[in-house]
Structure formats: C-alpha cells, structure tokens
Amino acid sequence: MEFRTKVYDRQKMFFYEAYRTGQIGWPRKSPSRLVDLLLEDPSLVPGSRVLEIGTGEGRNLPPLLERDLQVIGLDLIYEPLLVARDRIRQERCSGRIAFVQADLFSLPFMPGAFDVVFDFGVFHHLRRPERKGYFRWISRILKTGGRAGLGVFSEFFKHSPDDVRRRFYVTHRGHHDVFFREPDLPALMGEDFSLEASGTEETDDGLSHYRLAVYRKML
C-alpha cells in the first residue's frame, strides 16, 4: 500500500507540473473520437448522467453538453478543472455540468449513479494491480446496461520520433505508461463487460497513437 501511494504521488506531481508549466504532451483541443463512439448509443437521452474520469482541461465535454446530458468532469488535479470551467463558459455550452476533484481509487459517487463512465488517458498510467481493480470501481458506479469508454496508449505510441520500445510498459519522466494492442481490448474491463465498439486515434504528428474501446456493463 505504501509503495502504491508513493508511485501515484509521483505521478500526481508529474501532472501537476505539466499543467503548471503548460508542457502538456497529450491532446487538449478537439474532442476524442471516443466521445463520438459513446454518443452513437440511442439509449443515451437528454438527462442521462455521464462521468469523465481525468477530464483535464475539458476538451471532451462540449459534445456531451450539446446533447443535454448531465455531465461530471473529474480530475485528480484542481488547476485544469478551472480551465475546463472557463472553456464551458466561453463556448456557452448547454446541459448541466459539475466539476469534481477526486481520486480514482475512492470515487465519491453512489452505486449505479451513471449511464456512462469514460476515461481517455488515465487507465494507461495504472500499474497492473490497479488495472485489475479498475473494472470493479467503474462497475460500482455504473448502471447495469450502462457503457464504459477507454482511450489508451497503443503499441504504436511514441514519446519521440526515435523512440524504440521492446516491452509494453515504461516508466517515463516520473510516471508509468502502459501500451495496448487490439487483442488486449476485450478483456480489459473483466467478465462483467462486453466490448461493443473499438477504434484508433492519433495526433497530427503521428507520434501519439491511441486505442479506443466502448464496453457495455452486462451484470
């Protein structure tokens, strides 16, 4: 437990410094294709409740609010939530939005509180023990029949053009990165979830390559 705490304390400091300095290496403008995959579900009607884990500066929020959904943007770091709040105000998004600073390991929500829970960019920073526990944390707050979305580093992700990788995980600049192949996706959320849709996404520079997956909670 103490080791886990130290690992994630270091990662928290890494993200805090990235937001403080503006040296952010992940997408921060256009929404992810993961949001489009989630919005294709016809059962997602106005008033449905959606949680984004690791919402950061809020790039994925506007399309959800345009659908008149009730959205919560959650992040471990407080500062990017201020940016996300200002983004929503400037874009004059409709829909209901709340921002919560909280830890993934102790999500402050009632069982079955959400119709959709999604995460672009958190899961791939978890160590194996926490990845194995992830589906239980999500399953508790997601309704039966609800959907879970993941956006994770693919095996083609590179930190730099000359990056050569011989394994599917690396400790990089004080944080943990894990890389996933397409065959890995069906089992990532455990037996209670069924993979419904998948895809890929990459940045314009061709370095940041992600795998997208949408699951249905069956039980």
Tokens 């672009």 locate to 120
Q: Which is it for the CA torsion 93, 24, 156, 3, positive or negative?
A: negative
CATH of the domain at 14: 3.40.50.150
Six-digit token string for 208? 């940041």
Q: Which of 75, 79, 180 is nearest to 119 (CA)?
A: 75
Q: How many domains does the chain have?
A: 1
pLDDT string in tens for the chain (219-residue length): 444 567 788 888 888 888 888 777 777 778 999 999 999 999 899 999 999 999 999 999 999 999 999 999 999 999 999 999 998 988 887 778 999 999 999 999 999 999 999 999 999 999 999 999 999 999 999 999 999 999 999 999 988 888 877 788 887 777 789 999 999 999 999 999 999 999 999 987 778 999 999 999 998
Q: Residue 3 has what pLDDT? A: 45
Alpha helices in 100-159 (DSSP H): 128-141
CA–CA gap between residue 38 and residue 48 (Å, rounded): 12
Q: Which domain holds residue 200?
A: 2-217
Token output for 55: 């919402």
Closest to 121 (Cα-Cα) out of 156, 153, 144, 163: 153
Query: Nearest 10 degrees: CA dihedral of 191, 193, 195, 198?
Result: -120
The reported pLDDT for the residue numbered 111 is: 97
Distances (CA, A) of 163 to 24, 126, 179, 199: 18, 21, 13, 23
The model's pTM: 0.92
pLDDT number for residue 180: 97
* Type and span of the H or E element at 84: helix 79-91
